[in-house]
Structure 1
Amino acid sequence: MMPVPSAGKFRIDVAQGLYPIVYVRGFTPTAGSREETFFDAYYGYSETSVEKRNALPPSYQEPIVFEGQLIRFLKEYSYVDAANSGLALALSNPGGNVQNPTRSMWISRFYDKDVVSGKVRNIIEHAEDLRELICERIPRELKLADVDLGPDDEDYKVIIIAHSMGGLVSRCLIQNILASKKEKADRWIHRLVTIGTPHGGIELSAVPDFLEDLVISKGNALNGAIFKRESMVKYLKLPSPAADLQKLFGTYPEGRCLCIIGSDHESYSVVRKATGSHSDGLVKQSNAYIKGAYWANVHRAHSGRKGIVNSFETYENIRRFLFGDTRVRIWLENVQLSTAPPKDNTREFYDIEFSLSVRGTGVYLHQRKQNPCENAFRSDRNDFPIQKLHLHTGFLDTRLRPSGDNFSVFLLTFKISQHQVKQGFLFETQFPERVIYSESMDIRINLAEKSKSVVEFRWLSETQDIDDPGSWQKTLLTDGVFRFPFREAKTISGQICLQPSVWNDEAANVSGEAALID
């Protein structure tokens, strides 16, 4: 074995958060699927996606290729593939290319022992494999690769990106194993990203409760009992049987967590028939996040060709959260109705829909829509006026601006629809949806000079030429908030508010929920 150098020539780029990345895969329910995983060198994280998109004539459609997030990190951030064979092979470099081992990518192959032994171990044992990888193997190999981890290895941490059950394995490491050793998880983990993880368990809403309990919990069909409350309380080491499954209870800063939530249940497998709607086909949207964490909703299925892991939307959210420099809160303020009140025996509610996309790409970083996502903000008429409605907290990386352009440009869309239901003696009458407000606005943010941040906007319905620089309107910064009045409408009024702030380690130590409080 090579001697461990006392002072290496490589240092982890702590300032930009370019720590080693560890991928943790999801659940494989059968022996066959575990073997398939075993024979995949990247445990499924090398899957790509190819889709059709609109194009100009004569083709009218063309393929759009996304290589998958693992490959993109290798391409765009110069990460080194240390999966499986470790850094020794990754840095062998017969061609003489210089690579930085600090930006290394790893996979927790916790199913390997299960396949080799023919015995499925429990989730705590899988989490112990993850601990050994993060706390022992990676720092040892980094030192052998001439990396200086700083005094007492204080510069060393990893980024965990986990899909589905992998997020629970990661939480078991944080809340059970490390907590039992009296170790702070943020000593080892810089950021935690979960993708389609059932933090609140898995509910088969289309199956009667007694049958769900019999099949999944008592019968442990497909080893699915690990997603039931009784099991989760034990391996997450929660303080009581009734404790909230979606809380970390002080074991790790929630503001360092990003949860990607899927909403395309139609594109998943036959399991969606049991899980029902309001889900990614397997995990309910309401169960797919850690309370206090940041989150984004992408319209993707739990896995498969249209899966959440190999989606462009997921990657764009993750890289801005990991390496971005700006956090932006978006909310509505003082929303007031001007519509006539309903007649007697008529119940009235409103769906408020919102989406955020990267301008010119068609990539939705976040969507709250009733169709097709089934997650609009729903408010009863009596809830108005709405003083404040948080829409999203997103992240920007000023380095992603086009060369020579100081602006980051995004498209925000809004739709507010009225729904009325008349109560009858035996039946209800559902009136057709009435859209009372629908608009899209371009937002461009100049963050080149932090002390002189500028936000400009334009309503697309009022813009004749999107290439016209004169179509942009400036908005003033008041008390750290940019405010835009709704485009004039006779049915509703209000303000759209944006609040950019610095995104760094200090900000990440504050819970995402706390960050919403003025």
Structure 2
Amino acid sequence: MSTNRYPIIYVRGYAMTESERDETAADPFCGFNIGSTVYRATVKKEAPAQKFVFESPMVRLLADFQYQSVYQNGLDILDPDWKPSPDANGNDVDGIPSASVIIYRYYDSGSELLGDGKAKDVKVYAQGLSQLILRVRDLVVQREGPSGFTADDFRCYLVAHSMGGLVVRAFLQNPALGDAKARACVDKVFTYATPHNGIDMGGINVPAWLTVNEMNTFNRDKMSEFLATPAVNGRMDYLPAAAFPPERFFCMVGTNRGDYETAKGLSRMFAGHGSDGLVRIENASLWAVDDAGKTQPVATAYTYRSHSGYFGIVNSEEAYQNLTRFLFGDVRVDLWFDVDGVTLPPDLPKDADVDALYQVELLAAPRGKRWYLSRRIAEEDSPACRTHKELTDPATAARRSIYLSTVFLANRARVKQDRPTLAYAMTLGVRVPDYQVNNKFWLDGHYEGSSLFRDTLIIEIAPPQPGDPAENWNVKYGWQTDTAGRASLPMSPKQLASGKLQFVVPLSSLGAAPAAPGISGKVRLEVSAWE
């Protein structure tokens, strides 16, 4: 069982109409209690879904980590008449336990059931989040204080879906929208399908003049104003490192537009390919920028899930596993692919103007599970892409280091399986690109769907034992084609200034294409202990 079970505050997504706000206000858990029994296993729409029961994030947090809700006698903690329930022995107690799930019910005032029926500005929601955090802090300190728990020790997790992530960012990034003491309480932030760079429909950003139901919340100029953060190259999907530690932020990105049924399919049509049906994939993650202008990716994982609905990202096993590993896991692994070089087909015309788009795919699966921690596939519009010029021009050398995803691993899974190591499989693939010669598609020698490289890397990690030196990690690897799926080759780490250990794995020779065209490089793993 995790020892860092801080309160989880859930911030739901956008409810556009009055009826949607009423529906939200009528739900005690604002959608966090909705599960699923179906799993889309194929991109073919006519194929039936597989049955896969996921009880809901709320139920699983209660069952797996013994969290509890804070509703008592029909009231929530913001009601002045709310009182905690007696303990197991029937004794009266104060406050709430640290392992509590609190729903930020910011749409109550915007419903006709409990309010005036009018949507509020995102700034109002951000200020309300600040007040809620301080209320939760006071109640947890009341309950946990006798064992030495103080207000300075208090921490909480923020978990947000869609626009809820923008509410969280407004609270964290804009000093005018909350109390600094409340911001200091936030330990980690997890977002599902948040439009960190706004929403584009038909390739056009939601206009600033579209003020009905606060729809302009997703306009980038409007975002810059409520985030108190200027755009960088016209984009808002970056997190100033001074606002919040970027290593403690996680973005869960959905890639399945086909199963998003809102507005009878019009939303997914206008959002287009490369979206979850509402938010474009390229707009759903973050980069961090420090005061010196140095950038780094925020931890990100991808899943073939839609923005919401039966196949939604929140009510999915994949997203839940990423959530709990991020909150309670033990090991963090950042996955990179460093490209050393690419070779062209030998019969391409010499001295021609050649370009191509290389698509890098990733499947990251923990041992013994039926789902992926991260899934980036060309057919699902989610691979990492680089052009031929980016991989060959010395002026763009930095683009050859390609961030793929971050996975978190948990010792509880290793203990449950009675295995001495944490292990997962990482399938890496690079599609043969569509070569363009003098701006025309080159057909000679082209085979659709073939790969420059494709192989599965097995990683087994044994973190240091208690009392061992921090660098005493035992990590082994093996490419499936070279070692029959066994991790038997030891890896020597390099200590990084960040405190992480870096492991470099050359690409397997058998996983590569037998001749030109080809690609050379290495997988780079940055590994560190995680809470």
Q: TM-score, normalised by structure 2?
A: 0.79
1:130, 1:325 → 2: CA distance?
29
Quick check: 1:27 aligned with 2:27?
A: no
2:373, 2:338 → 1: CA distance?
22
Amino acid at match of 1:454: N
Q: Helix, strand or coil: the match of 1:300? A: coil
1:52, 1:282 → 2: CA distance?
19
* Kept in 2: contact 1:185–1:251 (CA 8 A): no
Decide whether aligned partners of structure 1 residues 493 and 231 sit closer, same or farther in structure 2, where only a CA change above 3 A counts.
closer
1:98, 1:306 → 2: CA distance?
43
Q: How many percent identity over aligned positions?
A: 28
**Any residues of structure 2 matched to 1:2-401 within 5 Å, and which?**
16-51=3-38, 63-83=51-71, 85-86=75-76, 91-92=85-86, 101-115=97-111, 116-136=115-135, 138-145=136-143, 147-148=145-146, 153-176=151-174, 178-179=175-176, 183=180, 186-206=183-203, 209=204, 216-238=207-229, 244-249=235-240, 250-269=242-261, 270=265, 271-292=267-288, 293-333=298-338, 335-338=340-343, 340-341=345-346, 342-343=348-349, 344=352, 347-380=355-388, 383-384=391-392, 388-401=401-414
1:239, 1:437 → 2: CA distance?
40
* Kept in 1: contact 2:274–2:281 (CA 8 A): yes
* Kept in 2: contact 1:47–1:67 (CA 8 A): yes
Decide whether aligned partners of structure 1 residues 422 and 400 sit closer, same or farther in structure 2, where only a CA change above 3 A counts.
closer
Decide whether aligned partners of structure 1 residues 461 and 273 sit closer, same or farther in structure 2, where only a CA change above 3 A counts.
same
1:241, 1:484 → 2: CA distance?
34
Quick check: 1:419 aligned with 2:433?
A: yes
Amino acid at match of 1:445: I
Offset at 1:112? 0.7
Offset at 1:462? 5.1
Unmatched tracts of structure 2, length 5 or more: 42-47, 289-297, 496-501
2:323, 2:462 → 1: CA distance?
22
Quick check: 1:453 aligned with 2:461?
A: no
Amino acid at match of 1:72: R
Provide, for residues 399-419 of structure 1, a one-character-per-residue CA deviation record: whole Å limited to 9, x for no partner: 321443111121111112222
Provide, for residues 422-445 of structure 1, a one-character-per-residue CA deviation record: whole Å limited to 9, x for no partner: 5579x6456443323221232221
* Kept in 2: contact 1:262–1:299 (CA 8 A): yes
For 2:453, the equivalent position in structure 1 comes to 437
Give the structure, 1 or 2, with the largest relative contact order (CA under 8 Å, sep 6 or more): 1
Offset at 1:499? 3.1
Decide whether aligned partners of structure 1 residues 157 and 287 sit closer, same or farther in structure 2, where only a CA change above 3 A counts.
same
Decide whether aligned partners of structure 1 residues 198 and 332 sit closer, same or farther in structure 2, where only a CA change above 3 A counts.
closer
* Kept in 2: contact 1:174–1:185 (CA 8 A): no
* Kept in 2: contact 1:346–1:422 (CA 8 A): yes
Amino acid at match of 2:187: H
Offset at 1:366? 1.5
Provide, for residues 263-318 of structure 1, a one-character-per-residue CA deviation record: whole Å limited to 9, x for no partner: 11121122011111211111112221232222212221111111111111111111
2:243, 2:504 → 1: CA distance?
37
Which of 504, 517, 520 is equivalent to 1:483? Answer: 504
For 2:292, the equivalent position in structure 1 comes to none
Quick check: 1:409 aligned with 2:414?
A: no
Decide whether aligned partners of structure 1 residues 472 and 133 sit closer, same or farther in structure 2, where only a CA change above 3 A counts.
closer
1:149, 1:160 → 2: CA distance?
25
Decide whether aligned partners of structure 1 residues 117 and 326 sit closer, same or farther in structure 2, where only a CA change above 3 A counts.
same
1:258, 1:130 → 2: CA distance?
19
- Out of 157-166 and 413-422, give the one that drifted further: 413-422
Decide whether aligned partners of structure 1 residues 351 and 281 sit closer, same or farther in structure 2, where only a CA change above 3 A counts.
same
1:242, 1:474 → 2: CA distance?
44
Amino acid at match of 1:400: A
* Kept in 1: contact 2:464–2:471 (CA 8 A): no
2:39, 2:91 → 1: CA distance?
36
Amino acid at match of 2:10: Y
Decide whether aligned partners of structure 1 residues 68 and 388 sit closer, same or farther in structure 2, where only a CA change above 3 A counts.
same
- Out of 90-99 and 216-225, give the one that drifted further: 90-99
- Out of 242-251 and 107-116, give the one that drifted further: 242-251
For 1:5, the equivalent position in structure 2 comes to none
Amino acid at match of 2:372: Y
Provide, for residues 116-151 of structure 1, a one-character-per-residue CA deviation record: whole Å limited to 9, x for no partner: 222222212222222221112x13333444544857
Count of residues in Structure 1 that have an aligned counterpart in Structure 2? 472
* Kept in 2: contact 1:355–1:414 (CA 8 A): yes
Q: Helix, strand or coil: the match of 1:296? A: strand
- Out of 149-158 and 89-98, give the one that drifted further: 89-98
* Kept in 2: contact 1:454–1:474 (CA 8 A): no
Q: Helix, strand or coil: the match of 1:456? A: strand
Amino acid at match of 2:527: P
1:175, 1:482 → 2: CA distance?
34
Offset at 1:252? 1.9
2:189, 2:300 → 1: CA distance?
12
1:150, 1:197 → 2: CA distance?
37
